[in-house]
């Protein structure tokens, strides 16, 4: 019987960037148009990546800003992060930078599995404020994975959560080798 591994992943970012919509699309397979600010919700989903099965616990947090003090629960017992900004909001891009810095300080020297997501890419023609290249460069500087997404698109959204699971394993393996 394959071993089922448990992974706990946080979705972080400024408010209204699409954190809840991405979590919904991933777990329920649909896009919900309404906007209600989240307090904090947890979702569980079994995910198969390659030959392995994972019990993914996804925490959709209330939005953060530059001034948010991150609680210990954002660090302890967390395997990886999906940091989300909206390509239509420069401010949300600034916020993910601040969040990454704060998380990184707490992780110390340990490598931190991160997928950086530029969401609302479907609105890019009308109202883009952050270029794809800027997102890519930021993720590169962190050694993180970068994706642009639309929570309206199921496959792209699935890809985000597959990537974070792969990234957690990759970081873990590179550790045990060093
Ligand atoms: P959160 O506060 O970060 O959890 O953001 P929500 O998921 O609640 O989304 C905020 C608003 O943006 C809602 O009106 C969503 O319908 C909308 N939204 C979320 N993701 C997308 C997306 O990828 N494209 C578009 N066009 N709208 C989105």
Q: DSSP string of 85-140?
A: EETT-HHHHHHHHHHHHHHHHHHTTS---EEEEEE-GGGHHHH--S-HHHHHHHHH
The ipTM, to two decimals, is: 0.99
Instruction: Return the structure tokens found at 58.
Output: 């996804």
Indicate the average pLDDT of the chain. 91
pLDDT tier, 109 (very low <50, low <70, confident <90, very high otherwise): low
Residues with CB under 6 A from ligand 1: 13, 15-21, 33, 35, 37-38, 63, 119-120, 122-123, 150-152
In testing the pocket of ligand 1, which one of 25, 87, 125, 151 has its CB within 8 Å of the most ligand atoms?
151
Region of poorest pLDDT, from 38-42, 84-88, 112-116: 38-42
Mean pLDDT across 60-73: 92
pLDDT digits (tens, 9 = 90+) for 132-177: 999 999 999 999 999 999 999 999 999 999 999 999 988 877 766 5
35 against 17, higher pLDDT: 17
Which atom in ligand 1 lies closest to the alpha carbon of residue 37? 2
Closest Cα to residue 164, out of 21, 12, 38, 3?
12
- pTM, two decimal places: 0.94
How confident is the model at residue 1, as a pLDDT?
57
pLDDT tier, 107 (very low <50, low <70, confident <90, very high otherwise): confident
Cα-to-centroid distance, 22 and ligand 1 (Å): 8
Q: Is the pLDDT of residue 37 over 80?
A: no
Percent of the chain surpassing pLDDT 90: 75
Which atom in ligand 1 lies closest to the alpha carbon of residue 153? 23
How confident is the model at residue 115, as a pLDDT?
98
């Amino acid at each position: 019987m394959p071993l089922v591994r448990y992974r706990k992943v946080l979705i972080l970012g400024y408010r209204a960037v699409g954190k809840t919509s991405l979590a919904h699309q991933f777990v329920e397979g649909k896009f919900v148009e309404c906007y209600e600010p989240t307090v904090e919700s947890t979702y569980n989903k079994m995910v198969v990546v390659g030959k392995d099965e994972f019990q993914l616990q996804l925490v959709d947090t209330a939005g953060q800003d530059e001034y948010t003090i991150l609680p210990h629960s954002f660090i302890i017992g967390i395997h990886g992060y999906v940091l989300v900004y909206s390509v239509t909001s420069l401010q949300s891009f600034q916020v993910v930078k601040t969040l990454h810095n704060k998380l990184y300080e707490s992780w110390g020297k340990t490598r931190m599995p991160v997928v950086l997501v530029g969401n609302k890419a479907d609105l890019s023609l009308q109202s883009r404020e952050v270029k794809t290249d800027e997102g890519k460069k930021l993720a590169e500087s962190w050694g993180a994975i970068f994706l642009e997404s639309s929570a309206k698109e199921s496959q792209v959204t699935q890809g985000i959560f597959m990537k974070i699971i792969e990234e957690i394993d990759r970081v873990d393996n590179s550790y045990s080798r060093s």
